[in-house]
């Protein structure tokens, strides 16, 4: 297959995967209530620096490893079948969970526009949240559209990605400038700035979920065989995406903080949307929706592409059936895309709250993948990259400890912890019963 992804394509792919639904919804539900403005910013800056150290390990991987599957195939070749499966199984959940999560974010936009008119045919409550057939239908429709685009190949998906991410960036900047000029800054100063006292717990709550929020940067290794430039040159693009991600997460948190106190923000279904709608009107809200659609589209597109590549690689190494390693005439692992789509269809039936629990453990599994890559690089490299990768390994372990240690302020919730155990047990069962047989 002719390599089709240029530097702009890769920047929009990684940035779109980093700045997903969370950048638009977490300011009201998590960042402002738990960490405010300054602690959130500190958490993101430290987290961004941590990911940059981890990225140095990925740089060495990209220089020496030119295969689909990224971290999975790299670990398989260096540490064997079992460790490769652990990384592949971990990343599979990380990538696949992002697709239905971003798809259901479209439903949030529609609910903000049309209110309860969107809630048609009540089915049941799960995890304290009602599930409506109409919401499932719209989420599934979005998944079908982007699956079709991805099956058609990289060229149409990258064009759509570039356009949507450009709109997202421009619109968020416009919204911030307008809202900053229209609102009284005394609220944000009195609530978040003047009385601020450094709190390590507040910073840790943001820092610990950085692997989940920034997992988009590792889409690059999954598409390294499709680049029209040397894969090692993608490092600078990944670092730029990380920096822009830090800026945009904080910018959207500032927009929300200009209007709401923590108590007001958490009481809103979508605090950022309400802040823009109430203070700029429908014009600003339209810009915000276009930005959110760009972010969500980027997330779905990026993770559909990344997960199909990962599944194709798992199949190539005989850890899942061989049919997933077959490419269509467009050079796409079509069966992999269809598999991700089918799994994504199932997820909305459990409600958005359960999907959020699943995504919460993505930070843990992403950190495991980071740890493996940095450990392998540290073991086989010399000089500067060895030391950077040793730091990356330590940082990855720190992420893991923060998420599973009982006394940690950022520990996984009980439902997420249970789901983590279930996914691990499923992996053990699958490997022992099926993966060995396939191999």
**What six digits make up the tokens of 419?**
């789901």
Burial class from Cβ neighbours inside 10 Å (0-12, 13-18, 19+) for residue 432 reads exposed
CA 334 to chain centroid, in Å, comes to 22
Q: pLDDT over 90 for what percent of the chain?
A: 46
3-state secondary structure of 227: strand
Q: Which CATH class is domain 7-438?
A: mainly alpha
Contact assessment for residue 363 and residue 208, using Cβ atoms and an 8 Å cutoff: yes
pTM of the model: 0.87
Nearest alpha carbon to residue 416 among 127, 58, 174: 127
Q: How far apart are CA 279 and CA 255, in angstroms?
A: 11
CA 263 to chain centroid, in Å, comes to 27
Find all residues with CB under 8 Å of 248, minimum gap 6, and list them. Answer: 19, 23, 169, 172
3-state secondary structure of 2: coil
> Is 360's pLDDT higher than 80?
no
Contact assessment for residue 339 and residue 324, using Cβ atoms and an 8 Å cutoff: yes
Backbone angles phi, psi at 281, to 5 degrees: 95, -170
Backbone angles phi, psi at 133, to 5 degrees: -60, -35
Q: What is the pLDDT of residue 439?
A: 57
Q: Where are the domains of the chain?
A: 7-438
CA distances (Å), 430 to each of 359, 426, 437, in order?
21, 6, 10
**What six digits make up the tokens of 29?**
């539900």
Q: How far apart are CA 22 and CA 415, in angstroms?
A: 19
Burial class from Cβ neighbours inside 10 Å (0-12, 13-18, 19+) for residue 281 reads exposed
Maximum mean pLDDT: which of 68-82, 109-123, 353-367:
68-82
| pLDDT mean across residues, the chain | 88
Q: What is the mean pLDDT of residues 293-322?
A: 87
- Using pLDDT thresholds of 50, 70 and 90, give the confidence band for residue 191: very high
Q: What is the mean pLDDT of residues 208-235?
A: 83
Nearest alpha carbon to residue 336 among 241, 231, 251, 222: 222
Q: How far apart are CA 175 and CA 357, in angstroms?
A: 31
CA distances (Å), 162 to each of 3, 80, 103, 168, in order?
17, 37, 19, 10
Helical axes 282-316 vs 7-18, angle rounded to 10°: 110
Burial class from Cβ neighbours inside 10 Å (0-12, 13-18, 19+) for residue 122 reads exposed
Contact assessment for residue 24 and residue 276, using Cβ atoms and an 8 Å cutoff: no
> Is 235's pLDDT higher than 80?
yes
Q: How far apart are CA 215 and CA 405, in angstroms?
A: 22
Q: What is the pLDDT of residue 3?
A: 52
Q: How far apart are CA 412 and CA 106, in angstroms?
A: 26
- Using pLDDT thresholds of 50, 70 and 90, give the confidence band for residue 105: confident
- Using pLDDT thresholds of 50, 70 and 90, give the confidence band for residue 1: very low
Nearest alpha carbon to residue 61 among 411, 399, 388, 430: 388
Judged by average pLDDT, the poorest of 115-124, 304-313, 389-398 is 115-124
**What six digits make up the tokens of 81?**
């079948």
Judged by average pLDDT, the poorest of 271-285, 295-309, 327-341 is 295-309
Burial class from Cβ neighbours inside 10 Å (0-12, 13-18, 19+) for residue 144 reads middle
**What six digits make up the tokens of 354?**
């359960």
């Amino acid at each position: 297959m002719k390599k089709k992804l240029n530097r702009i394509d890769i920047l929009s792919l990684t940035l779109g995967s980093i700045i997903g639904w969370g950048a638009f919804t977490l300011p009201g539900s998590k960042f402002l209530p738990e960490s405010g403005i300054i602690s959130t910013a500190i958490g993101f800056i430290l987290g961004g620096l941590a990911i940059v150290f981890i990225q140095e390990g990925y740089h060495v991987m990209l220089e020496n490893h030119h295969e689909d599957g990224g971290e999975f195939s790299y670990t398989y070749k260096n540490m064997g079948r079992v460790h490769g499966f652990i990384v592949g199984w971990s990343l599979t959940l990380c990538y696949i969970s992002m697709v239905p999560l971003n798809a259901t974010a479209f439903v949030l936009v529609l609910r903000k526009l049309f209110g309860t008119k969107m809630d048609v045919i009540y089915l049941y409550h799960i995890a304290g949240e009602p599930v409506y057939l109409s919401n499932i239908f719209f989420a599934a429709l979005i998944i079908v559209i982007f699956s079709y685009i991805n099956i058609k190949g990289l060229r149409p998906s990258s064009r759509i990605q570039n356009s949507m991410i450009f709109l997202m960036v421009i619109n968020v900047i416009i919204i911030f400038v307008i809202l900053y000029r229209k609102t009284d800054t005394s609220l944000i100063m009195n609530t978040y700035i003047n009385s601020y006292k450094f709190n390590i717990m507040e910073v840790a709550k943001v820092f610990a979920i950085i692997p989940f929020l920034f997992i988009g940067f590792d889409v690059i290794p999954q598409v390294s065989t499709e680049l029209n430039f040397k894969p090692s040159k993608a490092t600078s693009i990944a670092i730029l995406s990380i920096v822009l991600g830090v800026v945009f997460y904080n910018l959207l948190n500032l927009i929300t903080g200009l209007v709401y106190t923590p108590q007001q923000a958490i009481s809103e279904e979508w605090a950022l949307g309400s802040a823009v709608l109430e203070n700029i009107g429908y014009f600003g809200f339209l810009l915000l929706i276009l930005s959110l659609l760009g972010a969500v589209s980027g997330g779905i597109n990026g993770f559909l592409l990344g997960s199909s590549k990962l599944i194709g690689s798992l199949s190539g190494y005989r850890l899942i059936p061989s049919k997933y390693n077959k490419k269509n005439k467009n050079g796409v692992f079509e069966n992999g895309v269809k598999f991700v789509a089918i799994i994504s269809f199932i997820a909305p039936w459990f409600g958005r709250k359960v999907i959020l629990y699943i995504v919460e453990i993505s930070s843990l599994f992403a950190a495991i993948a980071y740890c493996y890559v940095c450990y392998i690089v540290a073991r086989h490299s010399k000089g500067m990259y060895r030391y950077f990768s040793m730091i990356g390994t330590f940082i990855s372990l720190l992420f893991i400890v923060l998420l599973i240690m009982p006394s940690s302020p950022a520990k996984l919730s009980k439902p997420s912890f249970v789901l983590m155990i279930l996914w691990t047990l499923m992996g053990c069962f699958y490997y022992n019963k099926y993966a060995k047989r396939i191999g």
